[in-house]
Each structure stands twice: as C-alpha cells, then as structure tokens.
Amino acid sequence: MTLAMSSAAGTPPARNGILLGLLSADPPRSRVLSLLLVAILATLVATPFLIPGSQPIGTAAKICIFILLAASFDLLLGYTGIVSFAHTMFFGIGGYGIAIALNRLGATWTSVAIGLAAALALSAVLAFIIGLVSLRVRAIFFSMITLAVASAMLVLASQLSGFTGGEDGLSFQLPPELRPAFRVLADPVMGIAINGRLLAYYLILFVSLGMFLLLLRIVNSPFGRVLQAIRENEFRAEALGYRVVAYRIAASVIAALAATVAGALLALWLRYNGPDTTLSFSIMIDVLLMVVIGGMGTLYGSVIGATLFVLAQSYLQVLMGTVSGSLAAVPLLASITHPDRWLLWLGILFVTSVYAFPGGIVGRLRRE
C-alpha cells in the first residue's frame, strides 16, 4: 500500500522491488488512492494508542475483518463475474469452527488450530461441491442455488441447538494469551496496557493484512488473469483452451477459504458466534455494498469500501444525534436528522455514492 508514496519520496530501486513484490505488481496507480490506503493502514496500526477505548478498537478490528471478507467476495464478483449469495455461509463456518472447538475442547491454541482446520476443510469441500454442481448453469440460476444453500445453512445453525447453540449461539473463552487479564508488559505504554486484548487486535490486523496480500498476489498471477478473461468473455476463454468451470471452482474455493478465515477472526474477537453474527443475509448485502462502493475488480476497493461502510455503521448514529441536538430549534429538521433514522440516511449516502462513482471509488480515483 506504500508503493506510490515511497516512489515519490525517492525510495531506492531495491526497496521499490520489495514493495512491488508485496503489491504483486499492482500498485494503486493513483496518488490520492495511495494516500488513502497508507492513511487507513497507519490508522489501523495506531488506533489502540491514538484513540483509547473499547469502541474505537472494536471498530478497527471489524474494519480489518470486513476488508478481508469483502476482498474474498471481490475475487468472485469483480474478478470472475460470479454472483454468489453463499459467501456468508463460509464466513459463518469459520466462526462456528472456532466457537465449537473452543467451547467443547477448551481454551487452548490447539483447539483454535483444530477448529480453524476443520472449518477450512468443510468450506473447501462445500465450495467445491457447490461449484461442481452449480457453475455449469446460467448465472442467475447459480445465484439462486447459492441463496438456497446459504438459507439452509442458516436454518441448520439455528435448529441444531445442542451443537451450535441455536439462536443463542455459543460463547467461549480464549487462550490465556488473548485474554484482557494477560499482561505482556507490567507497565502501560503511552497509557495503554499491553494485554491479551491488544494482542488479539494485532493478531486480527496482521492476519487480515497477510491474507489480503495473498489475495492480491492471486488476482495478479496468471491464474488471476485467466479469471478476468473468463469474466470478460467465457466463450473466448473456453476457445483458447481454458477449462472455465475448473477455474471458476478454484476461485470459489479460494474465496471460501479466505471468508472462513475472516469468520474465525471475528469469532476470536467477539468471543462469541451465532446465526445473526456471521450467517445473516444482511451481512451478505453489506459485503456486496462494500465491494460495489469501493470498486469491483480492484481489491483496493475492498479496503476503501469496508472502511467507509463500517465507520458509517459505527458512528453515523452518533453524528446524527449531535446534529439533531443542534437543530432542536427547528422541529422538522431535528426530526429528520433524529438518530432513529440513521438507516435511512445510511441508505441515502450509499445510493448517492454509487450514483457519483458508478465504477466505484477506486475506479474513479484511478481515472483521474
């Protein structure tokens, strides 16, 4: 994310080569976009020390997780042209894998590893089967099949109360090193206790960053270029000798695995997982909005879209409360800007952004 900045500052060629390798030969290609990406990364790294409190660090952790989830969905939608409504199913599998393992096997790192491995295996198998059965049909029918499968998984998770906790979900303890009571240093740093909660945040941040860079490497590899060719014209790609269905299945499996990791990270952060937390269809709509607003077919768009969306969800209601209070002398305006109407204004903001940036924010910035 720092390539454009370092180039402008005269970074030596060797260092530029390292950064270009990290960005998989796909730099932001826009000075404004580079500044935004650097600002987001720097803010996420420094949030625990810059803005103390549980809500800011919780919002930052959620941004990291949804950047990864949106990027994995963009691999399907933006790079391959696959419209899948089952993506949150894999998100939920990751969350339940961690929750069930830590709840049943105890709060150890071995339980985390077993839960994550089982979730990844299940997601890979399901993504392969869904792709094998469904990707030969027309796009709209594939979307309907994935919607049906995701709905079935949501019902299953809600009904199997003895295994998944049902509608109440599962709460669990984390390994000792990730608990707030765990102290890395005896004395605070910049007034902030270096404890297990802080370690959990940085675990989420760096795993999300590593997975994002891995996805960036994939979409800019020969495999990724074939996916883009399939998106543009699948018949021509087939005529050139590429097995379109095989590539689409592979993309579905990779995206499912990344979504599973995102779900596991969310469960670790919340110390809880339930149907509404990771399997809700509203999450699927949120992720779709993040990708569209940020810019489809540009993983950097996932960073911008997820950051804006999560910030709006977290702070728009607070901002509206302030505005409504200042307009108390004008009853009509105070009523319109009342915090209870924050979802209305959230919808207006995103409709406006889609209208203003039809190719997404990243697409517009790259054209300037």
Per residue of the chain (368 residues), what is the pLDDT tens digit?
433 434 434 444 445 555 555 566 677 878 899 999 999 999 999 999 998 888 999 999 999 999 999 999 999 999 988 888 989 999 999 999 999 999 999 999 999 999 999 999 999 999 999 888 776 666 677 788 888 889 999 999 999 888 899 999 999 999 999 998 898 888 888 878 889 999 999 999 999 999 999 999 999 999 999 999 988 888 888 888 888 889 999 999 999 999 999 999 999 999 999 999 999 989 998 999 899 999 988 899 999 999 999 998 888 888 888 888 888 787 888 888 888 887 788 888 788 877 888 788 898 888 76
Q: Would you say residue 17 lies in a domain?
A: no
pTM, to two decimals: 0.90
Q: Would you say residue 347 lies in a domain?
A: yes
Sign of the CA dihedral 271, 274, 277, 279?
positive
CA angle 298, 278, 80 (to 5 degrees): 30
Q: Would you say residue 124 lies in a domain?
A: yes
Please give the tally of structural domains in the chain: 1
Query: Who contacts 104 (Cβ-Cβ below 8 Å, separation ≥6)?
Result: none
Q: Would you say residue 1 lies in a domain?
A: no
Q: Would you say residue 18 lies in a domain?
A: no
In tens, the pLDDT along 177-200 reads: 999 889 888 888 887 888 999 999
Range of the domain at 287: 26-367
Q: Would you say residue 330 lies in a domain?
A: yes
Cβ 47 vs Cβ 198: under 8 Å: no
Q: Which two tokens stand for residue 98?
A: 């961690």
Place of tokens 């779709």: 288
Cβ 201 vs Cβ 48: under 8 Å: yes
Which of 357, 240, 234, 235 lies closest to 289 in space, CA to CA?
357
What number of CA atoms fall less than 13 Å from residue 32's CA on the CB side? 9
- List Cα–Cα distances, 172 to 94, 112, 205, 329, 348, in angstroms: 15, 11, 21, 49, 38
Which of 85, 77, 87 lies closest to 294 in space, CA to CA?
77
Which of 357, 271, 275, 261 lies closest to 308 in space, CA to CA?
357
Q: Would you say residue 6 lies in a domain?
A: no
Place of tokens 């499912």: 256
H helical segments located in the chain: 3-8, 13-22, 31-50, 54-80, 87-105, 109-134, 139-159, 161-164, 196-219, 222-232, 234-239, 244-270, 275-278, 281-294, 299-326, 331-336, 342-356, 360-367
Rounded CA Rg of the chain: 21
Q: Would you say residue 101 lies in a domain?
A: yes
Got the DSSP string for 194-237? -BHHHHHHHHHHHHHHHHHHHHHHHHTSHHHHHHHHHHH-HHHH
CATH number of the domain bearing residue 94: 1.10.3470
